[in-house]
Structure 1
Amino acid sequence: MTKHKTIYGLILTAVLSVSACQNLETLPEDRYAQETFWRSANAAYGGLVGCYSTLISRGLYGEDVVLLEEATSPNAYNYNNVDGWSNIALGTHNASNTNAIAARWRAAYTMIGRCNALIEGIDGNVELTPDAIVKMKAEARFLRALSYHVLTIYFNDVPLITATPDLDQVTAPRKPRAQVVDFILGELDAIAAILPPAYTVATEKGRATSGAAQALKARILLFEASPLFTGTGDAARWRRAADAAKAVMDLNRYSLFPNYRALFSLANEYNAESIFDIQFQGPNVGSSFDVTLRQYNTCAPVRELIEAYRMKDGQPRSSSTVTDPGNFYSNMDPRFYQTVVYPGATFMGATVSNTRFVNTGYTFKKYSVYDAGAASTAETSLGERQSGINYMLFRYADVLLMYAEAKNELNELTPDVWNATIRAIRQRAGFTDAAALTYPAGAGKAEFTDIIRYERRIEFAGEGFYYNDIRRWKTAETVLNATIRKYDNTPIIVRKFEPARNYLWPVPQIELERNPNLTQNPGGY
């Protein structure tokens, strides 16, 4: 997909503007008919690029959205409420005051519409081979399934649209989440047998693979088994989640990249840990990670995250034997030093002062070109949408922790499971202490739950995962009702989370006005 990254900005909006009630004779000259657009290979590839390009929109994973979502969790803080993301963190969001919510709904359905148009139209192509057509349709089906997963985890019940965009879809009612999930799980099973295991041609890397389809299936089943959607738990659902994660592991196609810090660098894109990336290419269609993290410090780690890091023996700070009362930042989980820039650290060739990062005293390192070395001219001049490092939406460590979580819920977290998942992840991070690596034989399910949830928080800190984790675990009402602090314990702001309204997002008001058949989520939005 690399060769197509440079034209992500040239979206083929004409595909979406065609309605079924129009015909070729009445179409404006600058638009295309669904019936004729897909006949050439160039049009088909352009349409597929249009599907993929929605991933880098501001409604999904574009620019700095991943960081802004991180700042809705107890891990980080966003000081300027861009797109209303701070409203979500504070629990003050509603159906009309938070553009991030409206943008997510809009982007997901934009991608669904584009994918539906390709799936229905590409069979009329006269230049591609039948095999190529089937595979491109499978890629679009993967992206459509991903979009519906996004919609269901935030909005629950949503309209299920599987046909080319037309006017009737404007008034489509919401379908039960379970029905939508069943549909996309069936799609993923089907396309996993069609999509290739990998792309050997460099210009095609980044396209959906069979492993990506299976990883998405595992993530969907993990959400469906979690307390947010299941209540007290359902062993059958956890079994399906465990089996799906294990299926990805049994592909023997992925492995943990040996260097945790280097995992998030431009030089190591498409490594053995990466299952599916969001494609960025500077300077025109890149992310805004660097400018957000360094220049603006828009999204910054908070003291609550730093205190959550355990020590290098794997124990909490309060009970560890290696805690140094005189040096707060010593002897910590090795991932801390590879994830967070903190006062006293070396960053870009200089010692970080207490005021270097003004909003909290900290910043994240992941997906940034900036590091301990002196800055180059190119690094200091990066602006918005100019960072070229891909974002890993699915990576193998996530699959391992999905498996560990599901097996623990089934009371099956054996030494073999521990060694294949938690021990492997900790070893890769740089742990060497036996206390951190050895299976805790006396631990019960509750203790393992704490360990797994710790691992997810820390392994993926700065990657935008934790907000959805605390929602699906239904712990957000505890951890988000809190004051967040700067490096020196100075309070920043008090956050609120109301369980009755904040576990789901409201359907955007603009969508309710467009579609009289939509209903609002509970919570007084």
Structure 2
Amino acid sequence: MKKKLLYIMGLGFTLCTTSCKDWLELPSEKDFDSSTIFEDPGKVEMAVLGAYTSTFNAELFYQFGMGTDECFSTEGETNSKNQVSNYVYNPAISPSGTYSAMYAGVEQANVIIKNIPLMSDVDESEKEKLNMLLGEAYAIRAMNMLNVVRYFGDVPYPRIPVVDMPGFSSSRVHRDTIFEGCIADLQEAIVLLPWKGESGLPVERISKNAAYGLLARTALYAAGYSLRWDLTSYASSTVQLARRNDSQRIAELYAIARDACKAIVDRGEHALINYETIFRDLVNGRYNKESMFEYGQKSADRNEARLGYTNGIFAHTNSFYQKAQPAMAALPTYYFEFEEGDSRRDVAIANYSLNADSVHQLNTYASHTIGKFRVNWKADLGVSAAQRDINWIHLRYADVLLMYAEAENELANGPTPVAKEMLEMVRLRAFKEDRAKIGTTPTSYAAFRDAIMQERKLELGFEGWRRTDLIRWGVLFEKLTETKQDLLDLANHTGKYGHVDRFRAYKKTDAKVFNDPTVALDFISFKEEPSSAERTQLEKEGYTLLDMYSANAAFFANALKADATWVRNIYRGLEKNKVELFPLSTATIDANPGLRGQQHPLY
């Protein structure tokens, strides 16, 4: 039994010394004896820090981050990641890594939550530390369960350690029950945890501030739409996208979200900073006032997520920065969602690649990549080409402001002055505080809700929330259907895309320094193909002319045409009231007898 417990817990530790990024290596399973963990607070801290290693998984930004109106898979149509991205699901290929990782973290948290209160022989200072560690465990359990529920719906919900269970099988529990448990856990965590400014904790650990943000996020999901079915019959006829049927509790959940965001704002420890700086700091391991909670990537065992490699800019293996090979990219239409002057566009979307000659090469519309985690912004190469030591942001302040605005609008059935202020703060930062550029803030409930949906798309692009945001708003099918038509219109250079550049001329520049200052390549726009004389003049001036619809790209060299296979196959498996949740993988069901006969009814 002890070996099984140790396997499930996977205990490890990461201690901070002079820098919040100085993560030590995790000990192996054989280095730990579960009977000694709760002898002193130092060992308990090791256990808690070990639990953090199960709060993130590459699927959260990779498989689950694609198939949105921001991001698509660049892998082939027979690749399982591409299939998942385009809603072609079946139990044989359904992702299971996040499911397993999140439950490992839940088990770790359950062991900690059970045992800390049993530690009686401690002094006052140790008691204070143990309370903080207990708060972290409650928060980890809640955030991990949210990650499971938002992709798989009603799932097993263990709240005691495996060794205390009568058996090792467990069945699905109604998601509203899970949501309520998560909210209670986060409320308890808030009581126990110190504020960030008082704790001295690194950004990779949960403070009271972060717990409030996680509470707001959880409450919004609990109040929103999700794919539901009858857990008694599992009849396919009962599957529907719906909210819980308790309108009073929905209102209470929005109030919980609002109050949690208000507590963070009122505390005043966080602020919006320059948008570009957020991500330059991120890739270089620097802390700032906007980032509230990150997953640390410093130690070798945590680099398996390949942040900046799978989800970053393309860098040729012979380039100065060595290889970065994205498997996902910005949907061509996403580039045009940003209004003129929005400083976020060229940070979120890299309009260039890094070619074999270590030169910035302009991308076509089809080959724009994710720019927030670009390897050329780093000060060094990292552990290896695929292991760049780039953290993942779980929560930042702009997200809190947008959740605040959303909750206010829901509670008042229209935007309150506070709701407008929160939204405008985010928009003003995007437009360098130029109020003339942010336009008029909507005054009706529906228009403001639409504005929030759009702003979260622009502000939080590629940060892992869009897919399930669309689901909790109940509009995944509608938004992606609209986006598919937009993509076809762009490919046909018609409709609202009839005015976009067909060609762009740019100057290639060297990409041979760390902390590369290049955000985006400047270009000259051409609505039609330049004449021979114009081409000659451009060449004399050192410009390279690029057909933006061509296959002439360093990465994803595919033409943007309506009949192209990759365009036709975008969202090819999309089906309302079905794909909003993944089926459980065959291996997951086989490993848990309690789940037999409890598969997603439409699979």
Report TM bin, short chain: 0.7 to 0.9
Q: Given that residues 170 and 593 in structure 2 are in contact (C-alpha distance below 8 angstroms), is that contact kept between their aligned partners in structure 1?
A: no
Q: 1:468 is matched with which residue?
A: 468
The one of 107, 111, 116 equivalent to 1:113 is 107
After TM superposition, the score normalised by the length of structure 2 is 0.70
- Mapping of residues 380-391 of structure 1, within 5 Å: 382-384=384-386, 386-391=387-392
Q: CA deviation at 1:201?
A: 7.4
- Mapping of residues 126-525 of structure 1, within 5 Å: 129-166=126-163, 168-198=166-196, 204-228=202-226, 230=243, 234-257=250-273, 259-266=274-281, 269-281=286-298, 285-286=302-303, 287-292=305-310, 293=312, 294=314, 295-312=324-341, 333-342=342-351, 350-354=359-363, 360-371=366-377, 378-379=380-381, 382-384=384-386, 386-409=387-410, 410-419=412-421, 421-431=422-432, 433-437=434-438, 439-440=440-441, 443-481=443-481, 482=484, 488=549, 489-490=560-561, 491=564, 492-493=566-567, 494=569, 495=571, 496-518=573-595, 519-525=597-603
Secondary structure of residue in 2 paired with 1:393 = strand
Q: CA deviation at 1:5?
A: 6.5
Q: Give distance in 2, aligned partners of 1:381 and 1:115.
A: 30
Secondary structure of residue in 2 paired with 1:392 = strand
Q: Cα distance 1:289–1:198, how it changes in 2: closer, same or farther (>3 A)?
A: same
Q: Give distance in 2, aligned partners of 1:93 and 1:289.
A: 25
Q: Given that residues 279 and 390 in structure 1 are in contact (C-alpha distance below 8 angstroms), is that contact kept between their aligned partners in structure 2?
A: yes
Secondary structure of residue in 1 paired with 2:88 = coil
Q: Give distance in 2, aligned partners of 1:335 and 1:191.
A: 34
Residue 142 of structure 2 aligns with an amino acid whose one-letter code is: A
Secondary structure of residue in 2 paired with 1:276 = strand
Q: Give distance in 2, aligned partners of 1:433 and 1:171.
A: 57
Q: Given that residues 212 and 394 in structure 1 are in contact (C-alpha distance below 8 angstroms), is that contact kept between their aligned partners in structure 2?
A: yes
Q: CA deviation at 1:143?
A: 0.5
Q: Given that residues 71 and 77 in structure 1 are in contact (C-alpha distance below 8 angstroms), is that contact kept between their aligned partners in structure 2?
A: yes
Residue 239 of structure 1 aligns with an amino acid whose one-letter code is: A
Unmatched segments (≥5 aa) in structure 2:
1-14, 227-241, 315-323, 492-547, 550-559
Q: Which moved more, 1:144-153 or 1:214-223?
A: 144-153
Q: CA deviation at 1:125?
A: 8.4
Deviation digits for residues 166-205 of structure 1 (CA, Å, limit 9, x no counterpart): 2635212222112122122112112211111016676744
Secondary structure of residue in 2 paired with 1:383 = coil
Q: Cα distance 1:151–1:351, how it changes in 2: closer, same or farther (>3 A)?
A: closer
Query: What is the number of residues matched between the two proteins?
Result: 471
Q: Cα distance 1:307–1:523, how it changes in 2: closer, same or farther (>3 A)?
A: farther
Q: Cα distance 1:345–1:479, how it changes in 2: closer, same or farther (>3 A)?
A: farther
Secondary structure of residue in 2 paired with 1:290 = coil
Residue 71 of structure 1 aligns with an amino acid whose one-letter code is: M
Q: Given that residues 119 and 137 in structure 1 are in contact (C-alpha distance below 8 angstroms), is that contact kept between their aligned partners in structure 2?
A: yes
Q: Given that residues 77 and 301 in structure 1 are in contact (C-alpha distance below 8 angstroms), is that contact kept between their aligned partners in structure 2?
A: yes
Secondary structure of residue in 2 paired with 1:498 = coil
Q: 2:501 is matched with which residue?
A: none
Residue 336 of structure 1 aligns with an amino acid whose one-letter code is: R
Q: Given that residues 290 and 382 in structure 1 are in contact (C-alpha distance below 8 angstroms), is that contact kept between their aligned partners in structure 2?
A: no
After TM superposition, the score normalised by the length of structure 1 is 0.80
Larger Cα Rg: Structure 1 or Structure 2? 2
Q: Given that residues 54 and 110 in structure 1 are in contact (C-alpha distance below 8 angstroms), is that contact kept between their aligned partners in structure 2?
A: yes
Residue 138 of structure 2 aligns with an amino acid whose one-letter code is: R
Secondary structure of residue in 2 paired with 1:191 = helix
Q: Give distance in 2, aligned partners of 1:285 and 1:456.
A: 28
Q: CA deviation at 1:455?
A: 0.4
Unmatched segments (≥5 aa) in structure 1:
15-29, 60-64, 313-332
Deviation digits for residues 235-255 of structure 1 (CA, Å, limit 9, x no counterpart): 444333323322322222221
Q: Given that residues 116 and 162 in structure 1 are in contact (C-alpha distance below 8 angstroms), is that contact kept between their aligned partners in structure 2?
A: yes
